[in-house]
């Protein structure tokens, strides 16, 4: 490149390069200096891309004792800035500039790159290595930003950037590696898919206040993403489309506080197999229109839906799932939503130390089979918790009853535990054949399936009184006197109470059963009393045995 071919603006940049000085071509008027108005800028603000390339790859010698750099403000860059596979050892800092063509930095090795408040038709930096920061703050980029396989040893800053590639990739950052933080906040917007699958971020990922839009598709694709510290998707974070965090890992906590996610009748948040070292907050007016899934996720602390609104008015299928926590593992889950969940809540086979909920906002439909928990807050009475179990869409399943009874027993509420187990048998009866239902009904009526032994004692007492009255009014006949010649006073005396007791509990003789025999209908009454005594006696002893074994 010949120096005499440079324009005045280009010569100023050429001369400033060895000392790293800023060349400012702006007019001082914010309206006219807006890169969106670059078509109206005069020739005095035009810099050819080939001039930038020449400076960056060493066409201009450095000045001893100075830090060389390309620092340019308010220029229109014409031509293609192509640095593919180049080795650039000086910083590139462009502010408020407009590019006519997409810069190509693929597989280049660069020092810090700052493209602040610039307008670009795209940016291709696939496989690039940037030893320092990549700063795209406030820039408007259409056509997509390609950072797949790139490595940034400092910060990636997209704060306030506006990316637009509707129907395509607004940000393609598959397998991106960033050693420090990634900022996509303070007005960051993306129209198109933001892709971070397999990316590794050593610090924090900050999407606070970001607006992502890809209706009908994936707005944020971050499967297998690894974040070393916290991940913030709060502060007004909103999405139209799916957020996919499947298999991602977060070393700190994940905040979705107050986020608004919309993907009607589809999955809006796919966090299946997500691993978070501490807490996940989908709380404080978190609002989802679509299915939120944490199936198989492992959360070291708390998963909170405190004050959330899930699936409201957007799920119209026969059995829509608003929240899926199937196979979730967490220390604590808070399901105290702002209103009743509009859809099914799946908790099947989840393992939770503490489940906190609110009876006023229980979902109408749930799946609870296989759910394991140590405590419920509040535990409530068994009657209320049985209503909770009866909301299971799969109908009767034995495991939820056993788990609830175990929880009551653990906290010392044995009466509530027995109530749950009794309800289990009653609900099971509804699934049995007619003979099973009849037998179950009889057990329930007589002894409460063994969980109410006092009921059987009451029946025994009632039968004893009944028999005593009947046989008092109708004495059985004497079978055969042992000594017919003895005086009447020495003949065996009939005692209706002992005779009935002998029929009811044939554990002794009482000199009644072998000496007196009822006839006709009273023989039938005696036989029925004997049968009832056998059944009631056995079930009383069985019930007492159950109580003693539980104690």
Q: List pLDDT tens digits, range 40-83.
A: 999 999 999 999 999 999 888 888 889 999 999 999 999 999 99
What confidence score (pLDDT) does residue 315 get?
A: 44
How far, CA to CA in Å, does 338 sit from each of 262, 359, 360, 362?
A: 18, 12, 10, 11
| CA-wise closest residue to 175 among 203, 205, 154, 150 | 150
pLDDT value of position 456: 64
Beta-strand runs (E) in 117-196: 119-120, 123-124, 129-135, 140-142, 145-146, 151-152, 156-157, 162-172, 177-178, 182-183, 189-195
Mean pLDDT (the chain, rounded) = 89
| 170-220 per-position pLDDT tens digit | 999 999 999 999 999 999 999 999 999 999 999 999 999 999 999 999 999
354-377 pLDDT, tens digit per residue, is 999 999 999 999 999 999 999 999
Query: Is residue 384 one of the residues assigned to a domain?
Result: no
- Domain for residue 173, yes or no? no
The answer to the question of residue 76 being in a domain is no
507 and 542 Cβ atoms separated by less than 8 Å: no
Host H or E run for residue 293: strand 287-293
Identify whether the C-beta of residue 315 lies closer than 8 Å to the C-beta of residue 288.
no
Nearest by Cα to 209 from 252, 165, 259: 259
Evaluate if residue 443 carries a pLDDT over 70.
no
**Per mean pLDDT, which range of 117-121, 151-155, 388-392 is the poorest?**
388-392
Residue 540 confidence (pLDDT): 63
- In a domain? residue 285: no
Is 540 part of a structural domain of the chain? Answer: yes
Q: Are strands 477-478 and 516-517 parallel, antiparallel or unpaired?
A: antiparallel
Does 352 have pLDDT greater than 70?
Answer: yes
Rounded to whole angstroms, the Cα distance separating 332 from 512 reads 66
Asked if the bond preceding 549 is cis, omega within 30° of 0, the reply is no
Domain annotation covers residue 445? yes
Q: Can you give the pTM of this predicted structure?
A: 0.83
Give how far the C-alpha of residue 207 lies from the chain's centroid of Cα atoms, to the nearest Å: 19
Identify whether 461 is part of a domain. yes
Does 454 have pLDDT greater than 90? no
Number of domains in the chain: 1
Those residues whose C-beta lies under 8 Å from the C-beta of residue 9, and which sit 6 or more positions away, are: 23, 25, 44, 45, 46, 47, 75
Q: Pick the residue with more confidence: 485 or 348?
A: 348
On whether the CB atoms of residues 83 and 56 are closer than 8 A, the answer is yes
**What is the distance between the terminal CA atoms of the chain, rounded to a whole angstrom?**
94
> Cβ-count burial of 42 within 10 angstroms (0-12 exposed, 13-18 middle, 19+ buried)?
exposed
pLDDT digits (tens, 9 = 90+) for 503-525: 777 665 666 666 677 777 877 78
Segment 258-277 mean pLDDT: 96
In the prediction, which pLDDT does 160 show?
97
Answer yes or no: is 514 within a domain: yes
Question: With pLDDT > 70 as the criterion, what percentage of the chain qualifies?
Answer: 87
Q: Do residues 325 and 333 touch, judged by C-beta distance below 8 A?
A: yes
Element of type H or E holding 367: strand 365-367
- Measured at the CA of 176, the angle between CA 173 and CA 180, to 5 degrees, comes to 120
Q: Whose CA is closest to 269, among 249, 287, 251?
A: 287
302 in Cβ contact with 330 (< 8 Å): yes
Question: Domain of 505?
Answer: 440-550
Are 348 and 319 spatial neighbours (Cβ–Cβ below 8 Å)? no
The per-residue pLDDT for range 277-299, each reduced to its tens digit, is 999 999 999 999 999 999 999 99
């Amino acid at each position: 490149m010949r120096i005499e071919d440079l324009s005045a603006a280009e010569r100023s940049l050429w001369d400033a390069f060895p000392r790293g000085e800023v060349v400012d071509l702006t007019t001082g008027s914010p309206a006219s200096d807006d890169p969106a108005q670059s078509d109206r800028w005069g020739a005095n603000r035009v810099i050819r891309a080939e001039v930038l390339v020449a400076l960056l790859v060493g066409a201009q010698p450095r000045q001893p004792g100075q830090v060389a750099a390309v620092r340019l403000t308010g220029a229109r860059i014409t031509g293609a800035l192509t640095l593919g596979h180049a080795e650039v050892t000086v910083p590139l800092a462009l502010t408020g500039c407009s590019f006519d063509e997409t810069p190509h930095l693929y597989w280049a090795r660069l020092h810090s790159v700052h493209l602040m408040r610039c307008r670009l038709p795209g940016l291709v930096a696939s496989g690039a290595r940037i030893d320092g920061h990549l700063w795209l703050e406030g820039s408007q980029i259409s056509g997509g930003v390609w950072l797949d396989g790139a490595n940034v040893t400092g910060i990636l800053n997209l704060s306030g950037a506006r990316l637009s590639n509707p129907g395509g990739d607004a940000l393609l950052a598959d397998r991106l590696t960033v050693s420090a933080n990634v900022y996509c906040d303070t007005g960051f917007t993306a129209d198109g898919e933001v892709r971070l699958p397999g990316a590794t971020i050593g610090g924090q990922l900050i999407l606070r206040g970001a607006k992502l839009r890809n209706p009908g598709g994936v707005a944020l694709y971050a499967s297998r993403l690894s974040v070393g510290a916290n991940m913030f998707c709060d502060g007004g974070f909103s999405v139209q489309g799916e957020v996919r965090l499947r298999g991602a890992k977060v070393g700190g906590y994940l905040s979705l506080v107050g986020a608004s996610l919309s993907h009607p009748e589809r999955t809006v948040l796919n966090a299946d197999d997500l691993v978070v070292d501490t807490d996940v907050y989908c709380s404080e007016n978190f609002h989802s229109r679509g299915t939120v899934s944490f199936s198989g996720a492992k959360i070291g602390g708390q998963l909170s839906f405190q004050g959330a609104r899930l699936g409201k008015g957007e799920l119209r299928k026969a059995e829509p799932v608003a929240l899926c926590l199937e196979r979730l593992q967490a220390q604590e889950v808070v399901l105290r939503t702002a209103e009743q969940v509009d859809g099914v809540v799946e908790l099947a086979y989840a393992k939770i130390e503490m489940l906190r909920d609110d009876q006023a906002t229980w979902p109408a439909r749930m799946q609870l089979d296989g759910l394991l928990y140590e405590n419920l807050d509040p535990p409530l009475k068994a009657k209320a918790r049985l209503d909770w179990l009866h909301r299971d869409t799969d109908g009767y399943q034995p495991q939820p009853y056993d788990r609830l009874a175990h929880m009551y027993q653990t906290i010392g509420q044995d009466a509530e535990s027995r109530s749950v187990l009794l309800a289990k048998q009653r609900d099971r009866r509804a699934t049995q054949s007619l003979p099973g239902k009849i037998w179950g009904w009889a057990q329930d009526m007589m002894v409460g399936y063994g969980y109410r032994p006092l009921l059987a004692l009451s029946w025994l007492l009632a039968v004893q009184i009944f028999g005593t009255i009947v046989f008092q009014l109708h004495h059985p006949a004497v079978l055969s006197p042992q000594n017919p010649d003895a005086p009447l006073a020495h003949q065996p005396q009939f005692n209706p109470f002992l005779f009935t007791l002998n029929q009811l509990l044939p554990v002794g003789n009482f000199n009644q059963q072998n000496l007196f025999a009822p006839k006709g209908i009273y023989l039938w009454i005696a036989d029925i009393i004997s049968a009832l005594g056998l059944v009631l006696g056995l079930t009383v002893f069985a019930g007492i045995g159950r109580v003693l074994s539980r104690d």
